[in-house]
Amino acid sequence: MKLIYEKSQSGRTAYTLPRYELETPELPEALRRSEPPRLPELAEPELVRHFTELSTRNFGIDTGFYPLGSCTMKYNPRVNERLANLPGFRDLHPLQEEEGAQGALELMWRLQEALVEVSGLHACSLQPAAGSQGELTGLLLMRAYFTERGEHEQRRKIVIPDSAHGTNPASVTMAGYELTPVKTDARGNIDVEDLRAKVDEHTAGLMITNPSTLGLFDEHVEEIARIFHSVGALMYYDGANLNAVCGISRPGDMGFDIIHINLHKTFSQPHGGGGPGGGPIVVRDTLEPFLPVPQIVRDGDTFRLDFDRPKSIGKVRGFTGPFGVFIRSYAFIRMWGPQLKRMSEIAVLNANYLLARLRDAYDLPFDRLCMHEFVVSARSLKREHGAGALDVAKRLMDYGFHPPTVYFPLIVPEALMIEPTETEPKEVLDEFCDALLAIAREAADSPELLKDAPHDRPVRRLDEVRAAKRAIVRYGFEDHPDLGAEPVEPRQLEAQKGA
């Protein structure tokens, strides 16, 4: 497919702007362009065809199964969009006065209440824009809490398991803390003995994801809470995997003090392109005074923004956070209502169904029932046939599926991390298993099918190393390299033959 610049023809135009009749403001000579910008020139039908063709090369949850582990790519109900498009929400200005925005404030307040209930904690701030910012905000709350108690200088360490999301150690460093890694035991839990040796009066807190990135619920979470609480440290719950436990177990009851919730994962939001996300945090009452301002509060029948919080760590995001995200997630939560538990139960059931069908064809690093996702390894395929996790993932694209997360968590070699979510029917789960089982057979019979994959996608195997080292991010008009690839014949797929 040609780039839009390659289709450009001098003098073509899709739309002519009305003549500009206002006075032209004076611009200093130095700021004026000497030449017009080099924009592509196309007629409207060519423009529409270009972007329509591009759109057909996209892959999203609306076009197929997207089992990207840890990312919770669930179907986004259309009613969410309808509600987010109501003029009373859509046309609000962020600076609208409070009396004219009561509906929006009430929705945010009610969303906070729902998140408080799911968490088993006490107070919420919707501000953080995503999980990573929720983490940083949570750590800043820890710092404010210990500073007030006069313990900040003493408590410098945050404990993180080796299975953690990469954002956890990054947030710890950004917040000015020191990292204390802790090991995973043979059942995929935090190694409690290793932990006990590393937690003392210099520990500020723990950050864990539970269920972990291995898709396993930590069987020692109560013991872990006792260890941290006995030295006066705080516990942070990374809510990335909350989709597994809603209405079943609550982080507050497990002993956690701070949690972030990825609204875009657990509570539905189109987020495949990197946003928009939402990472509200919910905290125990002891941390409430430090929450970001403004807080959304209720006075009788009215709702308002409360800036008068002297101990607050301040704002962490412009205005009150990503409001469109709040509408969709609130709608999603209200649609499930008291049945929210079913959502998590089905997500866990779906993941265990996949695991049961795949366990003989791939290596299983921890042989346990999983939660809403699981990790298998392509290590034997790599060792015996030379085709690893990346090759399996690329071959899956030929079968019409988005690949799972690969090479994460880092503690499992050749990891494939699979999360089906609750929104997939059994037929889709079966087709996906058929494909992965077929690929395991292909690895043994003709491994080059995997190593050369994908075969029938718009682009073949991309050179990721070259892309990382020499990214071409703008069009070079005079010396643009030829990026076109030779078209290739699609290869036969075993699963489609009814294998």
CA distances to 87, 182, 186, 439 from 169, in Å? 42, 12, 23, 35
Cα gap 121→139, rounded to integer Å: 17
Interface pick for another protein out of 231, 349, 410, 459 (rule CB under 8 A): 410
Out of 17, 27, 465, 473, name the contact with another protein by CB under 8 A. Answer: 465
Q: Per CB under 8 A, which region of 220-228, 400-408, 474-482, 484-492 contacts another protein?
A: 400-408
**Can you spell out the DSSP letters for 164-191?**
S-THHHHHHHHTTPEEEEE-B-TTSSB-
Restricting to residues 159-178, which ones interact with another protein according to CB under 8 A?
A: 166
Q: Which two tokens stand for residue 345?
A: 């139960």
Q: Which C-beta is closer to another protein: that of 244 or that of 412?
A: 412
Measured between its terminal Cα atoms, the distance across the chain in Å is: 33
**Is residue 179 a contact residue for another protein (CB under 8 A)?**
no
Query: DSSP assignment of 240-293, as one string?
Result: TTGGGTTTT--HHHHT-SEEEE-HHHHTT---TTS------EEE-GGGGGGSPS
- Answer yes or no whether residue 407 interacts with another protein by CB under 8 A: yes
Sheet holding 374-377, edge to edge: 374-377, 415-418, 405-406
Shortest gap between Cβ of 264 and another protein (angstroms)?
Answer: 24
Integer Cα distance of 205 and 256 in angstroms: 10
Q: Is 469 in the site for another protein (CB under 8 A)?
A: yes
Per-residue contact track with another protein, 368 to 397, x per CB under 8 A?
A: ----------------------x-------
**Measured from the CB of residue 359, what is the shortest distance to another protein in angstroms?**
21
Q: Which of 228, 252, 17 is nearest to 118 (CA)?
A: 252
CB of 178 to another protein, least distance (A): 13
464 sits near another protein (criterion: CB under 8 A): yes
Q: Are strands 405-406 and 415-418 parallel, antiparallel or unpaired?
A: antiparallel
Pick one of 192, 413, 460, 461: the residue that binds another protein (CB under 8 A).
413
Residue 203, SS3 per DSSP = strand
Our CB check for another protein shows the closer of 322 and 409 to be 409
Q: What minimum distance in Å lies between the beta carbon of 218 and another protein?
A: 24
Q: Rounded CA gap, 83 and 188, in Å?
A: 41
Cis amide prior to 276 (ω within 30 degrees) = yes
Instruction: Tell me how far, at minimum, the Cβ of 469 lies from another protein, in Å.
Output: 5
Asked if residue 471 binds another protein (CB under 8 A), the reply is: no
Report the DSSP pairing between strands 203-209 and 157-161.
Answer: parallel
Return the range that interacts with another protein (CB under 8 A); candidates 15-23, 297-305, 449-457, 460-468.
460-468
> What are residue 477's phi and psi, to 5 degrees?
-60, -40
> Judged by CB under 8 A, which stretch of 27-35, 152-160, 257-265, 404-412 contacts another protein?
404-412
Stretch that binds another protein, among 38-46, 284-292, 444-452, 467-475 (CB under 8 A): 467-475
| 22 near another protein, rule: CB under 8 A | no
Complex with another protein: residue 54 or 467, whichever CB lies closer: 467
Cα distance between residue 240 and residue 67, in whole Å:
15
Residues between 85 and 104 that touch another protein (CB under 8 A):
none
Q: Residue 5 interacts with another protein (CB under 8 A)?
A: no
Does position 186 bind another protein by CB under 8 A?
no
Q: In angstroms, give the least distance from the CB of 390 to another protein.
A: 8
CA separation for the pair 389, 416 (Å, rounded): 6
Residue ranges in contact with another protein by CB under 8 A: 166, 390, 406-408, 410, 413, 464-465, 467-469
